[in-house]
Amino acid sequence: MSEISVIAGTSSGELAKKIARKLRAKLVKARTIAFPDGESKITLDKIPSNKKIVVVQSICPPVDTNLVHALSLIAKAKDMARHVTVVIPYMGYARQDREFLQGEIVTAKVLAKLIIAAGASEIIIVDIHSKIGLEHFEIKTTHVTAMPELVKYFKKMNLKNALVVSPDQGGEERAKIFANNLETNYIALEKNRDRKTGKVNIKTKDAKVRNMNIILVDDMISTGGSIIEAAKFLKKGGCAKIFATCTHGLLIGDAEKKITMAGIAEIVSTNTIPGNGIRVDVSGAIAKMIN
């Protein structure tokens, strides 16, 4: 048994268990009670080691509750250990990493300040929406990408005529890494999102996708709007099958149903967020980054 304790946050129980097993570390579970007014009471089921503590908590829905749980667990860990490694498998609020419209608050920066103030010594984040989000942390930050793990899943499929597609220009680098690993080609569509309504449309006019088996790659699928619009465009171009893959399968509300109705054959996501569509485990990639 190592001298590391892994505290499993309320949103990351299964993933934390896998990380702890890989590190041969003690697993500490956080139990919560929700009071009628919405407040949480959080209790650790055992006392962690005082050498090094790793807190694992995704800031996924219910986002604000999970954020308060994360901050509380980090603060408690800091009371007990000198070094606290904070693993945020999914970093909510990371899309608001700059002031797109005047007056908007850069929430990603606020979160970074809160996490550091709570007691984080270093941060490990999996596939953050954009690298700009990482710059808000003024402590050691390690970025882990799940793309090689997702590629392994698709390699086993042995798809003929595969084409990797990013639904937007911001994801081009991600699509490139994915395509290089899969030894195939990629394109990035041009997407427009109305910053006030959130509505998405594809601006690309033409793409050579006829008879290609498409793998749509994104960092996250939330409402499914982005990949559904991309799928409509690709189908018009005469593509063959469409698969959708992402690191963070938020799949809000009936997103999964809408994606299936849009003719997407399979959603392949990782276990950074508990829920549906999980095909790939990122615990190994995270554990490798913890000393």
The site that binds ligand R5P (CB under 6 A) totals a number of residues, namely 15
Of 119 and 167, nearer to ligand R5P (C-beta) is 167
For residues 165 to 204, the per-residue mask of contacts with ligand R5P, x marking binding by CB under 6 A and - elsewhere, is --xx-xx----------------------------x----
CB of 145 to ligand R5P, least distance (A): 14
> Which amino acid is present at 200?
V
> Which amino acid is present at 278?
I
Annotated catalytic, 152?
A: no
Closest CA to 179 of 213, 220, 133: 213
CB of 50 to ligand R5P, least distance (A): 40
> Which amino acid is present at 128?
I
Of 93 and 137, nearer to ligand R5P (C-beta) is 93
> Which amino acid is present at 147?
M
Q: Which two tokens stand for residue 257?
A: 């149903």
Count of beta carbons in the 10 Å neighbourhood of residue 284: 11
Of 175 and 239, nearer to ligand R5P (C-beta) is 175
Backbone angles phi, psi at 116, to 5 degrees: -70, -45
Q: Compute CA distances 156 → 47, 121, 241, 260, whole Å.
A: 42, 39, 16, 22
Residue that the structure tokens 């709570």 belong to: 118
The interface with ligand R5P within residues 215-274 (CB under 6 A) comprises 218-226
d(CA 230, CA 193): 13
Q: Which of 29, 191, 203, 235 is catalytic?
A: 191
Of 224 and 277, nearer to ligand R5P (C-beta) is 224
For residues 91 to 130, the per-residue mask of contacts with ligand R5P, x marking binding by CB under 6 A and - elsewhere, is --------------------------------------x-
Backbone angles phi, psi at 283, to 5 degrees: -60, -35
Q: Which residues bind ligand R5P (CB under 6 A)?
A: 129, 167-168, 170-171, 200, 218-226
**Among all residues, which ones are annotated catalytic?**
191
